[in-house]
Amino acid sequence: MNSRPSRGWQPMTRVSAWALVVLGALIMLAPFYMMFVFASHPRAEIFQVPPPMLPGTDFLSNMAILQQRIPFWTNLGWSFYVAIAFTLCSLLFCSMGGYAFAVYEFPLKKPLFTVVMGTLLIPPFLGMIPNFMVMDFLGWIDRPIALYLPGAAGAFGIFMVRQYVLSSVPRELIEAARLDGCGEFRIYWSIVLPLLGPALGTLALISFISSWNNFISPLVVMRSLEMYTLPLALRSMQNPVNTEWGAIMAGSAVAALPLLVLFALTSRRLIAGLVSGAVRG
Amino acid sequence: MKPLIKLRWAPYFFLAPFMLLFFVFGLFPLGFSLVLAFQSWDPVQGLSSMTFVGLKNFAFLLEDDWFWKSLYNTLWLAVVSGLPQHLVAIPLACFIHNRLGRWRNAVIGVYFMPYITSTVAMAILFSALFSTDYGVINTTLQFFFPMQAIDWLGDPDNIKPAIALMVFWRYVGFNTVLYLAALQAIPRETYEAATLDGASPRQQFFFITLPLLKPMMLFSVTLSVIGGLQLFEEPFVLTGGRGGSDQAGMTTAIYMFRTAFEFSDFGTASAISWSLFLVVALLTWATHRLFRGKKEAT
């Protein structure tokens, strides 16, 4: 600690650097604060001079307005349903894929792994239109499966599991199970999977968050307000003439809350997971 | 008990979900969009109305004012929202790395938080914050500086800066965390040796930290370029889905989306997406060249 490089800072420099960092942190937090402030004020109060800066008391009436405009709880339910289904599918498919690359030798291993990593380089918008057509062909328009299945075997997850299996599942364990007559699927399911806890935990967090925030896929395939996930439903309330700002903010706050809580509980692990994924990917 | 899967087939069994999903939702759409880019097709008319038109879609784009405008908007936003992120993230990461002990995780968490929250929810919020007469941003600015209220989202000149501000807010923490990861990999002895040799903190920053951060700079700038050029959600929500007055906030990704789903022209839309892909590839390559060039110079 004491031999850190910039000990020689002048007091003035130190104070102003701290002030800048704290100011920056306040700017980062301010929008979240304003979201909760707006969520608890009626529309007329939000557009006053000066705008309200302290939480009000109208949160529940805002929620009531919100439910008149959109089927809020249904949308929230779909968001949860899709995020959980996406997370479970990712955990299964990515752990299977990562396990295969870590444990087996097979003829197409190298080219297949290159393909997996190559998918990271394909910009998602390139396949947007044909993807829509595929969904249409499969009859998946307006169905949640269109949101959670296609992206569930992501390269990032497969790579993460592969690295984790390579580094922390002893090969001898697998060999021993095989000698005892254990089938390949049993080895994966009952022996390896329970050892993957930390990797799968991080993958679950990242999958849940990305699905919860996903906007473009539902924008393309979801057609009816009843089937919208939350971001889409909230966006549909945006209106050039009279947007119900208080209600929309109450909805946004409720949509953001699960993630903020999740983030508060897991931020260290989440950041480490995202960064290691980004750095290796 | 007989094993369910033979060892020989096991890897293919485990990779089957990936291969299936990749083929149906990855490879096939990619190939098909390349085909579509050379077709004229209104999806409402059914598959039979698809006709091969060669390079006509691309020729149309070369003459299309909206396409060039969207490309200009996209590049403008990528530079103005991207560059400051790195100029702030690098010193901020150094400060957090060198100066913060107890508060470290809290500060990182606060700066990182915008990255994990829903872009749409936050963009809706920002459209309220950017309101001309009643918005918190104008009110705050006018509290400190005597000035006219800025029409952020109505005036074509101000839409892009407003979008860039939000993009900056959202991604600066992500870049900071990337740089922090790189700083942690620099051995402490390097600095100790430099201090013994009498190098000032400023010299250490410019002659040790920055050069050692270069690989990460290349990486995170590349991410910014790729992500920035595909910018969609922030401008889409801030401009109400239509690109704003005079299309001043319409990025190429939004133009592509509108061409496909608003104007029902899948052929031109695919041509736009491949043109944008070429721009992304070209600028990614240019970024790598730029960083490699610098290395040779020093």
Does B56-297 carry CATH code 1.10.3720.10? yes
In the stretch 252-291 of chain B, residues with CB closer than 8 A to chain A read 253, 256-257, 260-261, 266, 269-270, 273-274, 276-277, 280
Which range in A101-110, A128-137, B65-74 is most confidently predicted, on average pLDDT? B65-74
Is the pLDDT confidence value at B297 over 50?
A: no
| A33–B contact, CB cutoff 8 A | no
pLDDT tops 80 at residue A273: no
Instruction: Supply the pLDDT for residue A178.
Output: 86
What are the distances in angstroms from CA A107 to CA A178, B11, B19? Answer: 21, 10, 15
Residue A242 lies in a domain: no
Q: How many CB pairs under 8 A join A and B?
A: 287
**Chain B touched by A11 (CB under 8 Å):** no
Q: Can you give the residue range of the structural domain that contains A156?
A: 72-232+256-280
How is residue B293 written in tokens? 């060039």
> What is the predicted pLDDT for the residue at B294?
58
| Residues of chain B contacting A212 with CB distance shorter than 8 Å | 118
- Predicted confidence band of residue A6 (pLDDT cuts 50, 70, 90): very low
Residue A186 maps to a domain = yes
Contacts of A123 in chain B (CB under 8 A): 226, 230, 276-277, 280
Instruction: Calculate helix-pair angle for A59-69, A72-103, nearest 10 degrees.
Output: 80
Overall domain count for chain A: 1
Q: Do A185 and B5 touch (CB under 8 A)?
A: yes
Does ipTM top 0.90? no
Report B:140-199 residues touching A (Cβ under 8 A): 169, 173-174, 177-178, 181, 188, 191-192, 194-195
| CB-based contact B99 A4, cutoff 8 Å | yes
Asked if B1 lies within 8 A of A183 by C-beta distance, the reply is yes
Of B30, B94, B108, the CB nearest to A126: B30
Chain B residues touching residue A24 (CB < 8 angstroms): 88, 92, 111
Residue range A14-38: mean pLDDT, rounded: 89
Q: Is residue A65 part of a domain?
A: no
Q: Assess if residue A169 is contained within a domain.
A: yes
Please answer whether residues A113 and A188 qualify as being in contact, where contact means their C-beta atoms are separated by less than 8 angstroms.
Answer: no
Q: Omega of the bond prior to B215 within 30 degrees of 0, cis?
A: no
Cα–Cα distance, A17 to A250 (Å, whole number): 36
Q: Hey, is the C-beta of B71 within 8 angstroms of any chain A C-beta? A: no
How much of chain A, in percent, has pLDDT values that exceed 90? Answer: 25
Q: Note which residues in 237-266 of chain A have CB less than 8 A from chain B.
A: 238, 240, 245, 248-249, 251-252, 255-256, 259-260, 263-264
Q: Is residue A80 classed as helix, strand or coil in its secondary structure?
A: helix
- Closest among B36, B62, B61 to B50, alpha carbons compared: B36
Instruction: Report if residue A43 sits inside a domain.
Output: no
Query: What gap in Å lies between CA A193 and CA A200, rounded to an integer?
Result: 9
User: How many CB atoms are located within 10 Å of the residue A281 CB?
Assistant: 14
Determine the distance from the C-alpha atom of residue A86 to the mean position of all C-alpha atoms in its chain, rounded to a whole number: 10
Angstrom distance (rounded) from CA A229 to CA B67: 31
Which is more confident, A140 or B240? Answer: A140
* Contact residues on chain A for B107, CB-CB shorter than 8 A: 21, 25
pLDDT of residue A3: 42
Query: What is residue B40's three-state secondary structure?
Result: strand
In terms of average pLDDT, the best of A127-136, B70-79, B212-221 is: B70-79
Q: What pLDDT does B106 receive?
A: 87
Of the pLDDT bands very low, low, confident and very high (cuts 50, 70, 90), residue A183 is: confident
| C-alpha radius of gyration, chain B, whole number | 24
- Taking only the tens place, the pLDDT of each residue in B74-96 is 999 999 999 999 999 999 998 89
| DSSP element (H, E) containing B52 | strand B51-52
pLDDT of residue B163: 93
Helices (H), chain B: 10-22, 28-36, 56-63, 65-99, 104-116, 119-129, 136-144, 156-184, 188-196, 201-204, 210-229, 233-238, 252-261, 266-297
Query: What distance in Å separates the CA atoms of residue A88 and residue A80, rounded to the nearest whole number?
Result: 12
Does residue B296 or residue A69 have the better pLDDT? A69
What is the model's pLDDT at position B77? 93
Given a cut of 70, whether residue B295 has pLDDT beyond it is no
The per-residue pLDDT for range B48-57, each reduced to its tens digit, is 777 888 888 8
Find, among A236, A210, A277, the residue nearest to B119 by Cα: A210
Which residue among B88, B98, B269 places its CB closest to the CB of A5? B98
Determine how β-strand B39-40 pairs with β-strand B51-52. antiparallel
Residue A135 lies in a domain: yes
Largest Cα–Cα distance of chain B, in whole Å?
A: 83
**What rounded mean pLDDT belongs to chain A?**
85
Confidence of residue A279 (pLDDT cuts 50, 70, 90): low
CA B111 to chain CA centroid, nearest Å: 17
Look up the CATH number of the domain holding residue A211: 1.10.3720.10
The pLDDT score that the predictor gives to residue A278 is: 58
Average pLDDT of the residues in B198-211: 86
pLDDT for residue A44 is more than 80: no
* Amino acid letter for position B215: P
Whether residue B115 has pLDDT greater than 80: yes
DSSP B53: -
Per-residue pLDDT reduced to its tens digit, B182-203: 888 888 888 888 888 888 888 8
CA distances (Å), A276 to each of A55, A201, B247, in order? 38, 14, 38
